[in-house]
Amino acid sequence: MDFADVIGLINTNRGNGKKKNLDRMKQLLIELDHPEQNLPCIHVAGTNGKGSICAYISQILQEAGYRVGVFTSPHLERINERIQINGQQILTDDLIHLTETIQPIVARLEVDRGEKFYSFEILTAIALLYFQQQQPDIVILETGVGGRIDATNVTAKPLVSVIGSIGHDHMHVLGTDLTAIAQHKAGIIKSNCPAVIYPVQEEIRYIFADVSNELDAPLTQLDKNQVTIKASTYGQQVFDYKDWSDLTIQLSGIHQVYNAMVAVEAVHVLNRQGYAISTAQIYEGLSRTKWSGRMEQLSEQPFVLVDGAHNEEGVMMLSKSLEQIAPNKKWTLFVGMMADRNYMMISDQMGHIAGKCYVLSPDSERGFNPEQVADHLTESSTPTTVISNVQAIKQYIDTEATDDEHIVIFGSLYLVGDILTLYKKTL
């Protein structure tokens, strides 16, 4: 097996099993002798911000001297990004070897069950097997979709269950309203295991309270009123939270302040469980956290940002952040979304700050139809032009943009990954 074979198995659209339970995933883990067991685990779910929360917690724990395994998705440039220990991506040789171990078991079970495994299920099993072999001090697992029936939801007793923001995404799987979506996310809360919840909408707070009460799970639900933002510029935000003064983060956007609050509370839970993490290490960890593809600057003149916002809530937070960075400034938008997204949110959320708008498909098979999107946005008072690929974005930035222009590229992490790769090739 070579790396192309690995990609063919774990980075493709495969799987025809129903996502009604975890039976398929559990059977695979039995065959692998339960790599999920005896891993001290932090489990993270949510619609937006999961990766940032994982990054904050991981950096704080590393500052405290812990060896931290992290499993996140999707990747931006290469699949190895998804499995890391202390920021070091899994080696390609290790990824190939683990895939070789799992592939024949998957093939046999698929015949027995009469259904295919999804790529994310296979990749989750690979990550768990890798962490079992490497034995980091703590493992942070990020869900793929939802929570209750997500492939990562096989850990019976996490150190803490963490749930980030709740919004409208993957509605074909999770349901069309926030209540149904929140119930899926709450599925990662386990009996007698602490849970920390992002400051979610008032109308769904009861869901997490009810589930936690039923499971005797100690619950911390964050409140936005507990934070005071003292400074917020691109590249630095300073805020107070409860009795914490002058917490500082590099990540931009008000939502990143709330993500940092979640990380602080999760670390408090670990402190109470005997993990030694000092106040100074929390401050240092927050201030040093970076997370690629989220409000990431590519150029100063023109000012170019890329961001992974791809659903209604994410685009809304991006819009607010851009207004905060450059009040009264019109932005040039480059947008590429998947076909299942409500692309009219571009006009609804970003139309008032759009000077120019360009659209492209981020994926030839699953991306939206850019011509159709351009027609609809233009009819909605956001004049829009179709471009062919990411090279056209780079060409515009290099040859047409003015030095004082503000440009943002968003809509899909696949698009963000492609533009980051292109920039690195041309450095």
**pLDDT for residue 427:** 53
> Is residue 201 domain-shared with residue 316, that is, in the same domain?
no
Indicate if the pLDDT at residue 171 is higher than 50. no
Q: What pLDDT digit, counting tens, does each position of 377-393 carry?
A: 898 888 899 999 999 99
Please give the residue range of the domain that contains residue 101. Answer: 3-288
Mean pLDDT, range 153-158, rounded to an integer? 94
**Which of the four pLDDT bands, split at 50, 70 and 90, describes residue 175?**
low
Q: Is there a single domain that holds both residue 136 and residue 204?
A: yes
What is the predicted pLDDT for the residue at 147?
92
Query: Tell me: the pLDDT tens digits for 291-305?
Result: 999 899 999 999 999
**Domain match, 284 and 305 both:** no
Could you tell me if 148 and 264 lie in one domain? yes
Q: For residue 23, which of 166, 100, 160, 121 has the smallest C-alpha distance?
A: 121
CATH of the domain at 364: 3.90.190.20
Which helix (H) or strand (E) segment is 54 a member of? helix 50-63
Closest-CA residue to 153 (of 25, 332, 313): 25
Look at residues 239, 255, 288 and tell me which one is the last residue of a structural domain. 288
Q: 71 - beta bridge partners?
A: 83, 141
* 288, 318, 350 - which closes a domain: 288
- What is the pTM assigned to this prediction? 0.93
Same-domain check for residues 282 and 300: no
Domain count of the fold of the chain: 2
Length of the chain: 427
Mean pLDDT of the chain: 92
Q: Are 281 and 371 within one domain?
A: no
Final residue of a structural domain among 260, 288, 316: 288
Would you state the pLDDT for residue 13? 77
Q: HEC string of 312-380?
A: HHHHHHHHHHHHHHCCCCCEEEEECCECCCCCCHHHHHHHHHEEEEEECCCCCCCECCHHHHHHHHHHC
Res 233: pLDDT: 87
Whether residues 342 and 392 fall in one domain:
yes
Question: Which alpha helices (H) appear in 273-311, and where do they start and end?
Answer: 279-288
pLDDT tens column, 192-250: 999 999 999 999 999 999 999 999 999 999 999 999 999 998 889 999 999 999 999 99
Q: Are 94 and 24 contained in the same domain?
A: yes
* Domain co-membership, 338 together with 197: no
Do 94 and 63 fall into the same domain?
yes
Q: How far apart are CA 313 and CA 166, in angstroms?
A: 8
Residue 282 sits in the same domain as residue 414:
no
**CA within 13 Å, CB half, 71:** 30
401's enclosing H/E stretch is none
Mean pLDDT within 321-346: 87
> What confidence score (pLDDT) does residue 169 get?
59
Task: Count CB atoms within 10 A of the CB of residue 335.
Answer: 28
pLDDT tier, 176 (very low <50, low <70, confident <90, very high otherwise): low
pLDDT at residue 11, rounded to an integer: 77
Distance between CA atoms of 383 and 386, rounded to whole angstroms? 10
If one compares 338 and 143, the residue with the highest pLDDT of the two is 143
> Is the pLDDT assigned to residue 266 strictly greater than 70?
yes
Kindly report the CATH number assigned to the domain that includes residue 174. 3.40.1190.10
Residue 227, strand partner residues = 241
pLDDT at 304: 96
Looking at the fold, whether 218 and 266 belong to one and the same domain comes out as yes
**Could you count the other beta carbons within 10 Å of the beta carbon of residue 320?**
15
